[in-house]
Amino acid sequence: MNSQHFVKSCIAIIAVATVGMVSGCANMEVNTGRGNVPGHYIRYEMQEADRAVEAARSAGKDKICPVEFKAAEDAKNHAYDVYRSCRTEEGSALAKQATAKANALCPPQKVEAVLSIDPASIKKGESAKLAWSSKNADECVIAPAVGKVEPQGSTTVTPAENTGYTLTCTGPGGKADSAASITVIAPAPVVAVAQPKAAPVKSCEPMEIDIEFDTNKSVIKPKYHAELKKLAELLIEFPNEPIVIKGHTDNVGSKAYNMKLSKQRAESVRSYLIKHFNIAPNRITAEGFGMTKPIATNKTKAGREKNRRIESHFTCGK
């Protein structure tokens, strides 16, 4: 019984000792010697601060935010100084603060993005320049149609219609957008210009004047005044052009008589134009051809009537 009681007592003592040892080493880890602290074990808070500072250094934060990095490193060194002075709990608490500082170093900077377009208004078919810049961005995209771009740059666009472009940039500090719009002016519709109608071509061929004379007479009857007025209007429209009035007869009578009669009738027309329409005399020549230039047979009454005629020869608008 005594032997059994002794064994049980020893087991209890070992168990209590083991619990004490485990409890006492719960916040300890193997000492790497970086903080010049003697002993095989060291509070883990101390070396946790050391690891946090070194991780920040490896990430380049000593160069990104050197002032803040030095403050974290100084806090870690101060914690070691306190710990080495046997103020274990105080040093561990300061080490925790140093760890927090190291982990919070150089927070991601806010992403910024700026997009512009020049000119802001173009005619359809023309081009404009898109330009952009960003800060703290790893990736930028321009929509529509442009796609992924460098954080800074420019490109030319030729939109077919009014378009709004959006630059979207992302980075550790979040996302930023910037927009720019362009107005595309459609060309004015082509309006067909009506071409002026060409002026009617004036007849410059020999023109027969519808005038008949009584037998052996050269007096112009009133009913033919309208016919002569049309001829006068043509002469007034072309004030610098000369005219030849030619008289013709049928073959009734002698050749000499008809030659004289045809000239008298041409002179009657000439005089009428000069007197009633102020046509310059030097513009009008009267000629008689008698029976020499018939345009129909003289064997019939109708043919002879056609041959008894007055013609005007006029050159239009030289």
What value, to the nearest 5°, has the Cα angle with vertex 126 and ends 123 and 132? 110
Q: What percent of the chain has pLDDT over 90?
A: 47
Please state whether the predicted TM-score (pTM) of the whole model is above 0.85: no
The domains found in the chain, sorted by start residue, are: 24-103 (no CATH), 112-185 (2.60.40.10), 207-314 (3.30.1330.60)
The mean pLDDT of the chain is: 84
Choose between 199 and 1: higher pLDDT.
199
Check whether 20 has a pLDDT greater than 50: no
- What stretches of the chain show up as alpha helix (H) in DSSP? 2-24, 44-58, 61-64, 66-84, 88-103, 225-237, 255-277, 301-307
Check whether 103 has a pLDDT greater than 70: yes
Yes or no: say if 137 and 162 are a contact pair by the CB < 8 Å rule: no
Yes or no: say if 45 and 26 are a contact pair by the CB < 8 Å rule: no
Report the pLDDT value the prediction gives residue 36, as an integer from 0 to 100: 86
Average pLDDT estimate for 164-191:
90
Choose between 207 and 84: higher pLDDT.
84
Report the pLDDT value the prediction gives residue 200, as an integer from 0 to 100: 54
CA distances from 153 to 116, 173, 210 (A): 11, 21, 89
What value, to the nearest 5°, has the Cα angle with vertex 165 and ends 161 and 171? 165
Check whether 188 has a pLDDT greater than 90: no
C-alpha to C-alpha distance for 247 and 261, rounded to whole angstroms: 8
CB atoms within 10 A of CB 211: 20
Q: What percent of the chain has pLDDT over 70?
A: 87
Q: How many residues does the chain have?
A: 318
HSE-CB for 62 with a 13 A CA cutoff: 10
Q: Are strands 174-185 and 121-123 parallel, antiparallel or unpaired?
A: parallel
pLDDT digits (tens, 9 = 90+) for 46-70: 999 999 999 999 999 999 899 999 9
Task: Select from 223, 313, 302, 211 the least CA-distant residue to 264.
Answer: 211
Check whether 105 has a pLDDT greater than 60: yes
Check whether 16 has a pLDDT greater than 80: no
Quick check: helix, strand or coil at residue 64?
helix
Check whether 10 has a pLDDT greater than 50: no
Quick check: helix, strand or coil at residue 310?
strand
Look at phi and psi of residue 317 and say left if phi exceeds 0, alpha if psi is from -120 to 50, else beta. left
pLDDT digits (tens, 9 = 90+) for 106-136: 888 899 999 999 999 998 888 999 999 999 8
What value, to the nearest 5°, has the Cα angle with vertex 137 and ends 133 and 181? 40
Report the pLDDT value the prediction gives residue 185, as an integer from 0 to 100: 92
What value, to the nearest 5°, has the Cα angle with vertex 36 and ends 31 and 38? 60
Average pLDDT estimate for 149-168:
93
161-171 burial, b for 16+ CB within 10 Å, e for fewer? eebebbbbbbb
Kindly compute the dihedral angle of the four CA atoms of residues 251, 255, 256, 257, in this order, to the nearest 10 degrees. Answer: -20
With bands split at pLDDT 50, 70 and 90, how would you rate the model's confidence at 72? very high
Report the pLDDT value the prediction gives residue 41, as an integer from 0 to 100: 94
